[in-house]
């Protein structure tokens, strides 16, 4: 199966995906009613609604423990590889991601899982590679925490091996700093050629270089459009200059679309300011401080707690359907190729989005009919 046949590589100006549907509370940290449980039936309904709408990808959150706070977001979660296999079996067109924490999944296992999912999906699997590690997760798995740049050196070896396992027919040996293999091979290999799509979201210098070398798309999650534009240019220039590659850019956004602007703004204030789980954001920042991540400073996160409650400080798409589409046009003009959407109430949000926003995106030239 060629890349040109896959949803993630279609010619829509702004591709749409759904983010974080596999965990309790979704992407937000709020006590407002309607947040995700999640249950399997609920996830299937969301996935199939996104599939019918022509969304091109589903991206789960790879997590192992809750954030903390009053609501303890993400404490209940579906493991991403088995989740992807199940979702692939009940959808028809949409691309289904796994999210692999590379230190927790051996590359042979990850490649075998990915190939299996690709066959279940008829060639629609994709891989999100996460190098970072939270201290409480590392402790639960009993593995050694290593420094940030070493993580990306390991991720480089890990990804190189997964790609080779995806593409090479013969057994091969490998001797690296982090992995040593004898007679490595998987069968069957994925249906996709040359291999399932790869994304990552590293924003540190090492993370950007990793994405420039290996990823088909990388996530850039910044609200300031000047900073966003400069970061996109830096990543694309690095990919072209250092590796002779083109790379797509994704982001994520929370959606509050209502019939009137006042209704949308009032609900945004309600679920963030009145119902926000501020203790969970404190716990999130504390966990980040004890992690190896360098994408943002702890000081910067301390100023972004309102955005963390809304959803990992995502870009807000808040307003009437017309205003939401105008903001999507602005995102596209900055250089974003696709956005992963999330809501407080996913099912109600997707239903309204499909009825009221998608037709306007077509009129605006952001999507094909």
Domain boundaries, the chain: 3-363
d(C-alpha 123, C-alpha 47), whole Å: 17
Backbone angles phi, psi at 126, to 5 degrees: -155, 160
The stretches of the chain forming alpha helices (DSSP H) are 40-53, 80-89, 107-120, 135-141, 148-167, 205-214, 225-243, 261-269, 278-289, 298-302, 305-311, 321-334, 346-352, 358-363
> Which residues make Cβ contacts (< 8 Å) with residue 352, sequence separation at least 6?
257
The pLDDT, as a whole number, for residue 300 is: 65
Q: How far is CA 181 from the centre of its chain?
A: 30
pTM, rounded to two decimals = 0.94
Q: Residue 54 to residues 12, 16, 196, 243, 353: CA-CA distances in angstroms?
A: 10, 8, 20, 32, 12
Output the tens digit of pLDDT for each of the chain's 369 residues. 788 889 999 999 999 999 999 999 999 999 999 999 999 999 999 999 999 999 999 999 999 999 999 999 999 999 999 999 999 999 999 999 999 999 999 999 999 999 999 999 999 999 999 997 777 787 888 888 888 889 999 999 999 999 999 999 999 999 999 999 999 999 999 999 999 999 999 888 999 999 999 999 999 999 999 999 999 999 999 999 999 999 999 999 999 999 999 999 999 999 999 999 999 998 888 766 555 555 555 566 666 788 999 999 999 999 999 999 999 999 999 999 999 999 999 999 999 999 999 999 999 999 986
Q: Is the peptide bond before 48 cis (omega within 30 degrees of 0)?
A: no
Domain 3-363 in CATH 2.40.240.10? The answer is no
The pLDDT, as a whole number, for residue 293 is: 55
Q: What is the DSSP letter of 361?
A: H
**Beta carbons of 29 and 281 less than 8 angstroms apart:** yes
Backbone angles phi, psi at 291, to 5 degrees: -90, 180
d(C-alpha 315, C-alpha 273), whole Å: 17
The pLDDT, as a whole number, for residue 145 is: 81
């Amino acid at each position: 199966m060629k890349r040109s046949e896959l949803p993630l590589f279609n010619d829509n100006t702004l591709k749409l995906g759904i983010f974080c549907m596999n965990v309790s509370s979704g992407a937000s940290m709020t006590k407002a009613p309607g947040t995700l449980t999640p249950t399997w039936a609920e996830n299937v309904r969301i996935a199939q609604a996104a599939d019918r709408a022509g969304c091109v990808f589903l991206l789960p959150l790879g997590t192992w423990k809750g954030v903390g706070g009053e609501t303890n977001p993400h404490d209940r979660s579906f493991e991403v590889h088995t989740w992807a296999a199940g979702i692939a079996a009940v959808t028809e067109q949409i691309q289904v991601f796994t999210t692999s924490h590379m230190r927790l999944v051996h590359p042979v296992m990850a490649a075998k899982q990915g190939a299996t999912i690709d066959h279940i999906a008829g060639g629609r699997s994709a891989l999100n590679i996460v190098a970072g590690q939270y201290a409480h997760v590392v402790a639960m798995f009993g593995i050694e925490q290593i420094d940030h740049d070493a993580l990306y050196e390991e991720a480089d070896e890990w990804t190189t091996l997964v790609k080779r396992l995806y593409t090479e027919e013969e057994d091969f040996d490998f001797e690296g700093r982090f992995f040593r293999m004898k007679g490595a091979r998987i069968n069957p290999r994925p249906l996709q050629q040359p291999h399932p799509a790869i994304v990552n979201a590293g924003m540190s210098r090492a993370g950007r270089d990793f994405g420039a070398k290996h990823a088909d798309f990388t996530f850039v999650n910044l609200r300031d459009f000047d900073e966003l534009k400069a970061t996109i240019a830096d990543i694309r220039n690095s990919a072209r200059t250092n590796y002779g590659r083109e790379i797509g850019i994704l982001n994520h956004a929370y959606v509050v679309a209502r019939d009137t602007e006042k209704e949308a703004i009032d609900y945004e204030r309600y679920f963030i300011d009145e119902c926000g789980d501020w203790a969970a954001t404190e716990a999130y920042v504390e966990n980040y401080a004890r992690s190896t991540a360098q994408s943002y400073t702890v000081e910067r996160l301390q100023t972004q707690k309102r955005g963390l409650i809304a959803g990992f400080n995502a870009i807000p798409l808040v307003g009437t359907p017309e205003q939401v589409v105008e903001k999507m046009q602005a995102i596209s003009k900055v250089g974003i190729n696709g956005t992963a959407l999330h809501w407080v109430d996913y099912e109600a949000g997707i239903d309204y989005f499909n009825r009221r926003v998608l037709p306007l995106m077509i009129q605006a030239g952001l999507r094909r009919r």
